[in-house]
Copies of this chain bind each other. A is one copy, B any other.
Amino acid sequence: MPFKNTFFKSAFSVDNVIFGLDDSKLKVLLIRRKGEPFKGEWALPGDLVHPKENLRDAPKRVLKELTGLVDVYLEQVHTFGKVDRHPVGRVVTVAYYSLVNIHKVKPRAASFASEVEWFPVFDLDSLPFDHLEILHKCTSRLQKSVRTMPIGFELLPEKFTLSDVQDLYEAVLNKKLDKRNFRKKFLSMGILVDVKEYQTGVAHRPAKLFRFETETYDEFKAKGFNFEI
């Protein structure tokens, strides 16, 4: 095995940018680092990839440790590999993002974290390592993906109003959208089902409730839906 001799000392890790929607704001789950370097600072959750672990399973493991969730939407974004990006050694990291329903989740500290907390994405302006760059790249990718994929599956409760959906899109895109145009376009895609119920207990006209036609993104794709917003 001539090849094996050329292996060199290095490591690869994954970072998982976990997005959620709360209070009409796009938030990201950060951990307080348990170990050096940057011990005690808020950073993106991540871990080294295990030797017998498929790459894509590593961010899933990180997410599961922190939230208990499995089977959420997960997208690989970019790999960061500057020689000096990690102060301790050569670590190439693959960045992923996932989308979770912030209200269905009670994040808990994990092996690599002493504390976890949701932070508003657009307020963060410093993070250790190159984590700010990673966050930016993942946020940009999310903003692109949200226009061609029905990611609401993951971020909304089972039944929701059209205003909930619009709030979500405004939070992710970080800008206001026209109400009538948004509703027109979203409804015309035919992926929502009217559940024939209404909001209750709100101090205004109650909104109609909807659910998604399919329950996961994979099902959605399988049905051959087209999506563009």
A contact residues, total (Cβ < 8 Å): 34
The answer, among B2, B3, B79, for a CB contact under 8 Å with A79, is: B79
14 intermolecular pairs with C-beta atoms under 8 Å apart: A1-B88, A3-B89, A4-B89, A6-B11, A7-B9, A8-B11, A8-B48, A10-B10, A10-B12, A51-B90, A54-B81, A55-B80, A76-B79, A92-B92
Q: Are B79 and A94 in contact (CB under 8 A)?
A: yes
- Are B55 and A79 in contact, CB atoms less than 8 angstroms apart? yes
Q: In the bound complex, what is the Cα–Cα distance between A36 and B5 (angstroms)?
A: 13
- For residue A40, which residues in chain B have a CB less than 8 angstroms away from its CB? none
Distance (whole angstroms) from the CB of A36 to the closest CB of chain B: 6
Q: Determine whether the beta carbon of A55 is less than 8 Å from that of B35.
A: no
Report A68-102 residues with CB < 8 Å from chain B CB: 76, 78-83, 88-90, 92, 94
Residue numbers in B under 8 Å from A49 (CB-CB): 10, 81, 92
Residue of B nearest to A47 (CB): B6
**Complex interface: chain B residues within 8 A of A82 (CB):** 54-55
Whether A103 is near chain B, meaning CB under 8 Å from some CB there, is no
Q: How far is the CA of A55 from the CA of B90 in the complex (A)?
A: 11
A residues near B, CB below 8 A? 1-4, 6-12, 35-37, 48-49, 51-56, 76, 78-83, 88-90, 92, 94
Given contacts A3-B35, A10-B12, A52-B83, 17 further A-B contacts (CB under 8 A): A1-B89, A3-B36, A3-B37, A6-B11, A8-B11, A8-B51, A10-B11, A10-B49, A10-B51, A49-B81, A54-B82, A55-B92, A76-B79, A79-B79, A81-B94, A92-B92, A92-B94
The docked-state distance in angstroms from the alpha carbon of A83 to that of B52 is 6
| A11-B52 Cα distance, complex, nearest whole Å | 13
Q: Could you say which residues of chain B place their CB within 8 Å of the CB of A11? A: 6-8, 10
Q: How far is the CB of A75 from chain B (nearest CB, A)?
A: 11
**Which residue of B6, B7, B35, B81 is within 8 Å of A10 (Cβ)?**
B7
Residues of B near A4 (CB, < 8 A) are: 88-89
